[in-house]
Amino acid sequence: MSAQALPNPWQAMAGVLQRDLRLALRRKAEWLGAVFFFVVVVALFPLAIGPEPDTLRLIGPGVLWVAALLASMLSLGRLFEADHLDGSLEQLALSAAPLSWLVVAKLGAHWLISGLPLVLLSPILGLQFGLGPEALGLLALTLLIGTPVLSLLGAIGAALTLGVRGGGVLQSLLLLPLYVPVLVFGTGAVDAQMRGLGAQAHVSVLLALLLAAAALSPLE
Amino acid sequence: MASWVLTATDLACQKAQRTLFEGVSLAVSAGSWLHIEGSNGCGKTSLLRILCGLSPAARGQVVWPGSSPATPPRPDRSVLHYMGHALGLKPDLSASENLCLDAQVSGLRLSLAQAVQALTAQGLKSRAHLPVRVLSQGQRQGVALARLRTSPAQLWVLDEPLVGLDAQATDTARALLQSHVDAGGALIMTSHHDVGLQGPGSRFQLGAGASVA
């Protein structure tokens, strides 16, 4: 009746991914809240600022990026919190698979739940700001590269503030400086493209940030 | 000479500038049990966590066979099963899902049939497909014990494994622990009750400054 050892850690990673996605499906309200926040914030800006197309086009990428950044921060608190409280984190630490691999799997699940919906929604929400098809595509691309960086960096903050009372505020303070480069290059890319300068440099820097974060973040 | 599963020498633990215990030395060999006793707050849980490598000790070392002071131990679920106060069960998953996914996450393979079999043995067959969220505290403890049943680990480290169980479940759990020791496993546990285990084993009074080997 006793369990056998699995041949490789990939299957343990798949287990983490499967468990977190299944839990998310049963607790829709938690992650939908952050997505809803993103939609509401972005939708309110054009109403408050007025129908001037040039202004809207100018602020559009920035608004979408800031909203995405805040939404991703909202969902961070749950990254390790539930596992910490119910004891699953201790069991993860005792897993035969390396802990950093399991953390990568947890981050993957977290991004699929809280990052990918933002990427998919961004072109639709961008329409309200009168962005052209190219700008919309680029915006989604920068978010596609940028939101995993936010998740990876966020994991550092979430891990450091785990179990700290009032950790949410501390976490935001820790993370904001780390988030700034992502925000600057993410919005900069769309901006440069709209001015006809080409976005390749910005996108390259963003990709570099992603690689650096992916390499360093799960090491804890 | 029995083969040692784990030895710990001169362990000390500090929490918030206060020394919980120091000079604790203990050893467990295959086919024996160790019952750690002590008053509330004397550091039983902290001691178990140190033995599992989940918390660092302020002083002293834990040695597993094959590990040396130069290569600190990293016991995993294939050799050690830890059951703490927080049971590590996901409230939104069913009991059987909890067992299967937890095994997979821990690098072990467990089929659904095996999970249901373990839950049945623990008297929880009718609860196997219910979310753990709707189970009572005692039943959750039972699910954690069913997971223990599926563990391939030789050493079990259990923090209050019998808490919240009714008389029948307690007997089942006792039989489970006894059969593990009889089969050559090792067991370290804390409990405020007399578990009544037979065979080679000892009690360890934490806070008395004693040591046992």
**Which chain A residues have a beta carbon less than 8 Å from that of B150?**
1-3
ipTM of model: 0.85
Q: Answer yes or no: is B25 within a domain.
A: yes
Whether the per-residue pLDDT at B213 is higher than 60: the answer is: no
**Which chain B residues have a beta carbon less than 8 Å from that of A2?**
149-152
| CB within 8 Å: B114 and A6 | no
Whether the per-residue pLDDT at B1 is higher than 60: the answer is: no
| CB within 8 Å: B106 and A96 | yes
Model pLDDT for residues A118-166, shown as the tens digit of each residue: 999 999 999 888 888 888 998 999 999 999 999 888 888 888 888 777 7
Q: Which of A147, A173, A164 is nearest to A81 (CA)?
A: A164
Q: Answer yes or no: is B141 within a domain.
A: no
Q: How confident is the model at residue B115 (pLDDT cuts 50, 70, 90)?
A: very high
**CB distance from B88 to chain A under 8 Å?**
yes
Whether the per-residue pLDDT at B210 is higher than 50: the answer is: no
Residues from A in contact with B at Cβ < 8 Å:
1-6, 9, 11-12, 14-16, 18-19, 22-23, 26-27, 85-88, 90-97, 102
Model pLDDT for residues A7-55, shown as the tens digit of each residue: 678 888 899 999 999 999 998 888 899 999 999 999 999 889 888 888 8
Residue A196 or B62, more confident = B62
- What pLDDT does B197 receive? 84
DSSP B184: T
| CB within 8 Å: B114 and A9 | no
Task: Dig out the tokens for A115 from the structure.
Answer: 């990052």
Whether the per-residue pLDDT at B57 is higher than 60: the answer is: yes
**CB distance from B197 to chain A under 8 Å?**
no
Model pLDDT for residues B84-101, shown as the tens digit of each residue: 888 989 999 999 999 999
| CB within 8 Å: A94 and B78 | no
Among candidates A9, A27, A87 on the partner chain, residue whose Cβ is nearest the Cβ of B107 = A9
Instruction: Determine contact, residues B201/B181, Cβ cutoff 8 Å.
Output: yes
Report the distance separating Cα B198 and Cα B185, nearest Å: 13
Please tell me which residue of chain A has the smallest CA distance to B87.
A87
What does the DSSP assignment read for B57-88? Answer: -SEEEEE-TT-BTTB-----TTTEEEE-SS--
- What pLDDT does A158 receive? 85
Instruction: Determine contact, residues B90/B147, Cβ cutoff 8 Å.
Output: no
Q: Which burial class, exposed, middle or buried, applies to A144 when counting CB atoms under 10 A from its CB (0-12, 13-18, 19+)?
A: middle
Q: Which of B173, B110, B112 is nearest to B138 (CA)?
A: B173
Report the distance separating Cα B82 and Cα B206, nearest Å: 19
Q: How confident is the model at residue B164 (pLDDT cuts 50, 70, 90)?
A: confident
**CB distance from B84 to chain A under 8 Å?**
yes
Model pLDDT for residues A171-196, shown as the tens digit of each residue: 888 888 888 888 888 888 877 877 77
Report the distance separating Cα B105 and Cα A13, nearest Å: 7
| CB within 8 Å: B105 and A19 | yes
| CB within 8 Å: A96 and B107 | yes
Whether the per-residue pLDDT at B19 is higher than 90: the answer is: no
Whether the per-residue pLDDT at A4 is higher than 50: the answer is: yes
DSSP SS3 for B46: helix
- Report chain B's terminal Cα–Cα distance, integer Å: 12
**Which chain A residues have a beta carbon less than 8 Å from that of B103?**
3
Q: Domain span at residue B59? A: 1-75+186-213
What does the DSSP assignment read for B129-169? Answer: TSBGGGS-HHHHHHHHHHHHHT---SEEEEESTTTT--HHH
Q: Does an H or E element contain B37, and which?
A: strand B33-37
Query: B51: distance to nearest CA of chain A, Å?
Result: 12
Whether the per-residue pLDDT at B166 is higher than 80: the answer is: yes
Task: Dig out the tokens for A66 from the structure.
Answer: 């800031």
Please tell me which residue of chain A has the smallest CA distance to B93.
A23
Q: Answer yes or no: is B173 within a domain.
A: no
Model pLDDT for residues A50-86, shown as the tens digit of each residue: 888 888 888 889 999 999 999 988 888 778 888 888 8
Q: How confident is the model at residue B66 (pLDDT cuts 50, 70, 90)?
A: low
Considering chain B, what percentage of its residues have pLDDT values greater than 70? 92
- Bridge partners of B94? B131
**Number of domains forming the structure of chain B:** 1
- What pLDDT does B12 receive? 87
What does the DSSP assignment read for chain A? Answer: -PPEEPS-HHHHHHHHHHHHHHHHHH-HHHHHHHHHHHHHHHHHHHHHH-S-HHHHHHHHHHHHHHHHHHHHHHHHTHHHHHHHHHTHHHHHHT-SS-HHHHHHHHHHHHHHHHTHHHHHHHHHHHGGGT--HHHHHHHHHHHHHHHHHHHHHHHHHHHHTTT-TTHHHHHHHHHHHHHHHHHHHHHHHHHHHHTTS-SHHHHHHHHHHHHHHHHHGGG-
Give the mean model confidence (pLDDT) for residues B115-140: 91
